[in-house]
Amino acid sequence: MILVNENYSLLQSSYLFAEIARRIREYESTNPPRKIIRMGIGDVTEPLPSACIEAMHRAVDEMASRDTFRGYGPEQGYAFLREAIAENDFRARGADIAPDEIFVSDGAKCDTANIQELFARDIRIAIPDPVYPVYVDTNVMAGRAGPATDGRYAGLVYLDSTAANGFVPAPPAEPVDLVYLCFPNNPTGATATREQLAAWVAYARANKALILFDAAYEAFIRDDATPHSIYEIPGARECAIEFRSFSKTAGFTGTRCAFTVVPKECRAFTAAGEAVPLHPLWMRRHTTKFNGVSYPVQRAAEAIYTPEGKAQVKSLIDFYLGNAAIVRDAMSRLGYEATGGANSPYIWVRTGMDSWKFFDKALRECQVVVTPGAGFGRSGEGYVRISAFNSRANVEEAMARLSATR
């Protein structure tokens, strides 16, 4: 008899964005007075930088000729891309990362989801709340979270990110083995200071724990004092894996390219307490289960590190940050407490009511879609996430409409 993985039945309700889509469809069927503006979903809206498009075109042409055609590439990514990443994203910031510690992939979602395969089943896991749902759901599927009551899994340690701690949780008093952190944060837009990250690195070293650091929004950091990488913190190489993506940096959500950094010193332990390097394990997993990102896409990704590419990426992010400033200022002027949006495309807004209730109100009264904070975890209740990924005209129109919520 084929037995099913019953852990799937422990997953909480439907995926957040499916429920949002359902409510929008239901409302749209009642003939709303005007077009709905979606300020909710975390997908980019602007086209790829021209440097990426030109590089991709050239690479496609190479595939058309026997002399320059490429078949299977190295699963970890082409050296040209890994060298550009190591130099520009890490060494230029004083973070000592070598090209062979970088694994190019088709997404930070897949990598943050798949990495848990490297760890034993009975580990203690700390997860921030509110949180990007992938970290929780993949551990539920793997049988690590146990049953849920009132939206919280018995087997997880929750790190509440609230106004009281500036949405940056401190390490817990109890020891845990695996910690997920994401800065700049989705959904709160919070960033962590060097001192806050250093406290986490010290905790991980003291507890023989591992940090999984999701830096998908690193390119939005404009404040010089904020670290872009966990490897800017001394000691992180042995206790942290970092996830990056071209999705939000350069508009690759539909093009697909990302990477994971596993330093050679990074370790987990056997039950007997012996340290085991994770680099060969992830190498084995990646080369066994993944075929690599297509050559034209890796060439397009490489192009963001050219002088033109850098300038284009900067103006792309500046554009979204301009939207974010408009959202934050508009919501603040309406009297809402609004945080994030300075080094992040997300603005986290305290609504003064149940977050799904505010969602329905914004949809019905303003025809504006926001993301209910409760969908990201219990500590997101009372908040909504507003995204800066939109056209300037839509952002301005949406902010004008939301004044009707007051």
Ligand X SMILES: *Cc1c(COP(=O)(O)O)cnc(C)c1O
Summarize as ranges the residues that interact with ligand X (CB under 6 A).
Answer: 42, 107-109, 132, 182, 186, 214, 216, 245, 247-248, 253, 258
CA-nearest of 227, 242, 221, 222 to 196 is 227
Q: Please identify, using beta-carbon distances, which residue of 207 and 253 lies nearer to ligand X.
A: 253
The least distance separating ligand X from the CB of residue 125, rounded to whole angstroms, comes to: 17
Q: 101-110 burial, b for 16+ CB within 10 Å, e for fewer?
A: bbbbbbbbbb
The least distance separating ligand X from the CB of residue 3, rounded to whole angstroms, comes to: 30
Report the distance separating Cα 282 and Cα 231, nearest Å.
18
CA atoms within 13 A on the CB side of 357: 7
The least distance separating ligand X from the CB of residue 163, rounded to whole angstroms, comes to: 21
The least distance separating ligand X from the CB of residue 258, rounded to whole angstroms, comes to: 4
The least distance separating ligand X from the CB of residue 301, rounded to whole angstroms, comes to: 11
Q: Please identify, using beta-carbon distances, which residue of 40 and 42 lies nearer to ligand X.
A: 42
3-state secondary structure 230-271: HHHCCCHHHCEEEEEEHHHHHCCCCCCCEEEECCCCCEEECC
Q: Please identify, using beta-carbon distances, which residue of 190 and 258 lies nearer to ligand X.
A: 258
Q: Please identify, using beta-carbon distances, which residue of 90 and 217 lies nearer to ligand X.
A: 217
Which residue type is seen at 379?
A: S
Q: Let me know: does 160 contact 403? Beta carbons within 8 Å.
A: no
Residue number, nearest CB to ligand X:
107
CA-nearest of 261, 262, 250 to 297 is 250
Q: Please identify, using beta-carbon distances, which residue of 89 and 214 lies nearer to ligand X.
A: 214
Q: Please identify, using beta-carbon distances, which residue of 257 and 331 lies nearer to ligand X.
A: 257
The least distance separating ligand X from the CB of residue 58, rounded to whole angstroms, comes to: 24
CA atoms within 13 A on the CB side of 177: 18
Report the distance separating Cα 57 and Cα 213, nearest Å.
33
Q: Which residues contact 42 (CB under 8 A, 6 or more apart)?
A: 186, 248, 345, 346, 371, 387, 389
Q: Please identify, using beta-carbon distances, which residue of 191 and 247 lies nearer to ligand X.
A: 247
Report the distance separating Cα 277 and Cα 239, nearest Å.
10
CA atoms within 13 A on the CB side of 205: 13
The least distance separating ligand X from the CB of residue 270, rounded to whole angstroms, comes to: 30
Q: Please identify, using beta-carbon distances, which residue of 159 and 366 lies nearer to ligand X.
A: 159
Neighbours of 286 (CB within 10 A): 21
The least distance separating ligand X from the CB of residue 42, rounded to whole angstroms, comes to: 5
Neighbours of 29 (CB within 10 A): 8
Q: Please identify, using beta-carbon distances, which residue of 107 and 296 lies nearer to ligand X.
A: 107
The least distance separating ligand X from the CB of residue 358, rounded to whole angstroms, comes to: 21
